[in-house]
Amino acid sequence: MNISEVFIRRPVATILLMIGGLIGGIAAYYQLPVAALPEADFPTINVSAQLAGASPDTMASSVATPLIKQFETIAGIDTISATSSLGNTSITLQFDLTRNIDAAAADVQAAITRAQRQLPDNLTTPPSYRKANPADAPVIILALTSDGARLTQMDDIAQNIISPAL
C-alpha cells in the first residue's frame, strides 16, 4: 500500500486536508514580515586625517600607509579602502558581520594611538574615526528647483506630493 492509495480511498479527508493546508498557507502569507529594504548592520568605521597643503601622494605615503599597517593587525576586518586627496586621507574599514561595532571602534582607536608616533608631527588634528552603517545611507536624493515658485511652495510640493508617492 502506498501513500497515494490512502488519499484515493478517502476523497473527503483529502479535500479537507487540502482546504486546511490552503487556509494555513494564506494565514502564514499574511503573517510574513515585509520590508522594502532588509535591516542589515554592516560594521563600518571611517577614519580621516588632515594635513594642510599636503599632496595626495604625501597623504598616501606618510599618513594613510602607517595607519593601514596598524589597522591590518585588527581581527575581523573584511576590507580596507583608502582615498587620499589634497590635505585629506579617508580610510574605510569594513568588518565581519559578526563583529561588534563598539569593540571594533576600541580596536581602531588603539591602532590610531599606536600609529601616532609614525605620523607627521604637523597634522592639523589627530586622526579621527566615526562608526557608520552603509545601510543607513539614503537610497535616493532629489533636488527640486523652480524659477517661479517660492521655497515654501517647493517644500510643500516635496512633503505633500513627491514624498508620499515614493
Inside any domain, residue 54: yes
- Backbone φ and ψ of 18, nearest 5°: -65, -40
Contact 93, 80 (CB under 8 A): yes
Domain presence at residue 71: yes
Whether 164 is in a domain gets the answer no
Clarify whether residues 8 and 83 are in a common domain. Answer: no
The boundaries of the domain holding residue 48 are 44-136
What is the longest distance spanned by two Cα atoms in the chain?
A: 89
Question: Taking a C-beta distance cutoff of 8 angstroms, is the pair 107, 82 a contact?
Answer: no
Looking at the predicted structure, is the pLDDT value of residue 139 above 80? Answer: no
Residue 61 lies in a domain: yes
60-100 pLDDT per residue, tens: 999 999 999 999 999 989 999 999 999 899 999 999 988 88
User: Does any domain span residue 67?
Assistant: yes
Average pLDDT over residues 27-36: 84
CA distance 45 to 127: 13
Q: Is residue 147 part of a domain?
A: no
Asked if residue 50 and residue 12 are part of one domain, the reply reads: no
Please indicate, yes or no, whether the overall pTM of this predicted structure exceeds 0.85.
no
